Amino acid sequence: MKKFLGSLFFFLFLIESLAAFEGYHKWVGVIAQQSGYDDQKILHTLQYKDLVKMIKKWEKKDYFVSDLKYGEGKWVMVVSKGNGILSQLLLHEERWVDFRDKMRAYFKKGFYLIDLEYGMGEWVGVFSKDIRYTDARYSANSDIKKLDYLIQEGWSDHYKLTQITFGENRWVLLFAKGTRYRNEYYEVATSFSEALEIIDEQYSKDKDIIELEYALGKWVMLFGIHTGYKNQKYIYADRFDLFEKKLISLRKNGYMITDLANGW
């Protein structure tokens, strides 16, 4: 009887621990050695106007925005040096249709997206002419079930998927030609624990994470080979200050952020 009760209590403990694990908001960093970056900082602020000031400040020091994320009421920005990026251009619009039209115009001029994020009613895109793409396009849809078809369509046209972003009740897929990515693979998880299982499985197949995004209870993941990264792995924490401490510790060993995400 004691053995049975012990097993029961252990089982209930596991269930409670898993529920707590899934129930907390998490900051997730995909990090790697040989990322192409020479130096990197992670910064955060509450207001978009202050974000712009920070970007201009670090731009003068030859840093560019390599990743941008909005979560828990704040903008989190990764600024980096290296990877051949010498200049950047910032675009923001409140409505997707306005951002989309300007983005198309930038594509025609040879400006391609480093990163795209939606937060506090703003679409924010970081463009550069220094990205070695030869062409770019996008797809957008509010139904996550249709993403697989749109991605397959892009692959059939010889484009590689480079980014997945959610905002204004729509999923935005960014595609490009001229990337180094090969053998891309796309997957969706309905919980963080399931997402980690998928990531570990793809790591065992020597695939790296290219993109990780969360919205509406779904973790959307993009993997591939020929990323140029070495020893890629992920870290996460339910508090941003703890997340920062983990990053600082690993940066001493040459790890830099290649993708930033947050979700539940």
φ and ψ of 132, to 5 deg: -90, 45
Q: pLDDT value at position 176? A: 98
Q: Which is nearest to 239 in space by CA: 31, 44, 16?
A: 44
Identify the segments of the chain with pLDDT beneath 50. 2-6, 8-20
What ranges do the domains of the chain cover?
Answer: 27-263
pTM of the model: 0.90
pLDDT at 15: 44
pLDDT value at residue 22 = 66
Task: Answer whether 214's CB lies under 8 Å from 195's CB.
Answer: no
The token pair at 97 is 């249709």
Query: Whole-angstrom Cα distance, residue 42 to residue 248?
Result: 9
Question: Within 10 A of 176 (CB to CB), how many other CB atoms are there?
Answer: 23
Q: Which of 165, 129, 123 is nearest to 147 (CA)?
A: 165
φ, ψ dihedrals at 130, nearest 5°: -85, -5
Question: What's the distance, CA 220 to chain centroid?
Answer: 10
Calculate what percentage of the chain has a pLDDT beyond 90. Answer: 89
pLDDT at 1: 53
pLDDT of residue 101: 98
